[in-house]
Amino acid sequence: MDDVGTAAARAEGLRWEMDQAEDGLVRAVRCATAAGAGLPDLAIASGLSFDAIERLLR
């Protein structure tokens, strides 16, 4: 059972890290957009689709 608790704690930690990373990405995309970057530039830089970028900006 210790392995289950350890795995659950690790999964929760990774979810927190992903949330933080996504928040940072949203801030960076908004900053780049404010500076004049367009969807093609953002897509190339981030590796995301236009749809994914637009979802981030909502």
pLDDT digits (tens, 9 = 90+) for 2-51: 899 999 999 999 999 999 999 999 999 999 999 999 999 999 999 999 99
CA 51 – CA 15 distance, rounded (Å) = 23
What letter would DSSP give residue 17? H
Q: 48: closest CA among 37, 20, 14, 36?
A: 37
42, 32 Cβ separation under 8 angstroms: yes
pTM of the model: 0.82
